[in-house]
Structure 1
Amino acid sequence: MNKEIEIVLNGEDELYKYLEDIEEGDYFEAYFGRYHVEGIIVLKDETFFKLDTKREFLGIVDFELTKVLPDLIEVAYTKSDGIRRVLKLIE
């Protein structure tokens, strides 16, 4: 059984603090507006992410999290420990 931890954030500063825990190789999901991206992180540089979606038509997707921040609903990531951490942004 996979475990999930839900963490409610009260602002951007808390989000940035948790982003430091996310590393290349983690499974990453970001939900913003009516869209979402997900995949294995192949490159991370502070708030820039490059994800391998493992999907034939999408392949590698890269995005800058700060550009979608106004529409960001939640970020989720799963480390090698199998625990899915869901960061819900409330402002």
Structure 2
Amino acid sequence: MSLLQSRLLRPVFIALGIALLVQVIVAVALTRSTVTALEADLANRLGVDSQHLSSELELASSEVTSSLDALSASTRQRLSVGL
């Protein structure tokens, strides 16, 4: 007799098939929840990093502006002395 046609093994194969299906469903659910949690964590960290970078860029911008103002004043003073 073939193993697939055996009345004794048919419930075993059905149980194995159901167990495999349940395992796949659980694995997909866990993967989705993990990916969702990772996406949320990444979005949170990117938001914090973006705010930090923005504040650093504002500070650098003010430093560059003050340096350019000082350079402009110095250049005007030198030009007025030279003329």
Q: What's the TM-score once normalised by structure 2's chain length?
A: 0.16
Larger RCO (CA within 8 A; separation ≥ 6): 1
Bigger-Rg structure (1/2) = 2
Which TM-score applies when normalising by structure 1?
Answer: 0.15
Indicate the structure with greater strand content: 1
